[in-house]
Amino acid sequence: MGISPVTTAWLNEQGHDAKHLSEERLHRLSDREIFSKADKENRIVLTTDLDFGEIAMTSHATNISVIIFRQEGRTPTSINRYLETVLNVAKEELERGAIITVQESRIRIRHLLRD
């Protein structure tokens, strides 16, 4: 299960410019194509797929961030609650480039250090 369009709508209600791939009929893109599109558009990738963390670490992207949701029972309501916390506590990290992994008991932030 991926991130729901309900979360995209919630983000837009909060004043963020969020897009769901299905809105643009791009949900069949490969992970690397999604990552590249997000990098070009200066977006944050929200996902339940661990592959995006590896793609972020091995890419040459300069400031893209990825938030990976790993908690059990990932409903749009629970994702939105965790996401609200992440957006509040990791704003600077998200702007500079980071991989943030969200679990029930913790939020792990790994900075993307670029030369």
Query: Which is more confident, 115 or 10?
Result: 10
E strand intervals along the chain: 44-47, 65-69, 98-102, 107-111
**pLDDT tens sequence across 17-27:** 999 988 888 87
- d(CA 46, CA 51) in angstroms, rounded, equals 12
How sure is the predictor about 114, in pLDDT bands with cuts at 50, 70 and 90?
low
Q: Is the pLDDT of residue 103 over 80?
A: yes
- Residue for token pair 């661990």: 50
**pLDDT tens sequence across 67-102:** 999 988 889 999 999 999 999 999 999 998 999 999
CA torsion sign for 71, 48, 80, 40 is positive
Q: What is the pTM of this model?
A: 0.91
Domain boundaries defined on the chain: 5-111
